[in-house]
Amino acid sequence: MTAPNPPEENDAGLAAARQTALRNWQQSLVEGPAVTALDNVESAEEEAVEDQEHLACNLCYRPFLPGELTVASNERFNWANAIVVCPECLTELKLEMRAKSSKPDLVLGLVWAVIGFFLMAGPFCLAIWTVKSDSNHNFWQWIGCYFAFVAGVVIGRLVRFGVGKRHSLEQQLIAIFFTLAFIATTAYVGFLADNNNFQDLVQKTTEHHVNLIDFWIFITARLWPAVSTFPQDSILMHIGVDVGVVLGLVAAYLSSEGARIYTRPFVR
Asked if residue 154 lies in contact with residue 120, where contact means CB atoms within 8 angstroms, the answer is: yes
Cβ-contact 163, 105 below 8 angstroms: yes
Using the predicted structure, report yes or no on whether residue 232 has a pLDDT greater than 80: no
Higher pLDDT, 29 or 200: 200
pLDDT value at position 113? 96
The mean pLDDT of 226-249, rounded to a whole number, is: 86
Sign of CA dihedral 36, 39, 45, 48: negative
Q: How confident is the model at residue 18 (pLDDT cuts 50, 70, 90)?
A: low
Is-contact 55 64, C-beta < 8 A? yes
Position 176, amino acid: I
- Segment 37-51 mean pLDDT: 50
For residue 34, pLDDT over 50 is answered with no
State residue 198's pLDDT score: 66
**Minimal CA–CA distance to 146: which of 250, 242, 227?**
242
User: Taking the mean position of all CA atoms in its chain, how far away is CA 21?
Assistant: 73
Q: Which secondary structure element, helix H or strand E, spans residue 207, and what is its range?
A: none
Mean pLDDT confidence for 48-65: 76
What would the DSSP string read from start to end of 93-145? HHHHHTPBPPHHHHHHHHHHHHHHHHHHHHHHHHHHHHTTT-S-HHHHHTHHH
Is the predicted pLDDT of residue 25 greater than 70, yes or no?
no
Please list, in sequence order, all residues whose beta carbon lies within 8 angstroms of the beta carbon of residue 29, skipping any fewer than 6 positions away: none
- Of residues 29 and 53, more confidence is placed in 53
Residue 4 has pLDDT above 60, yes or no: no
DSSP 220: I
More confident residue, 260 or 32: 260
pLDDT of residue 104: 84
Cα separation values, 27 from 34, 36, 112, 242, Å: 12, 13, 86, 87
Which tens digit of pLDDT belongs to each residue from 95-104?
A: 777 666 677 8
As a 3-state breakdown, the chain gives helix, strand, coil percent values, each rounded to 5, of 70, 5, 25
Q: pLDDT: is 149 or 137 the higher one? A: 149
Identify the pLDDT of residue 98. Answer: 67
Give pLDDT tens digits for 184-214.
999 998 888 877 776 666 666 555 566 677 7
Read off the pTM.
0.65
pLDDT of 183 reads: 94
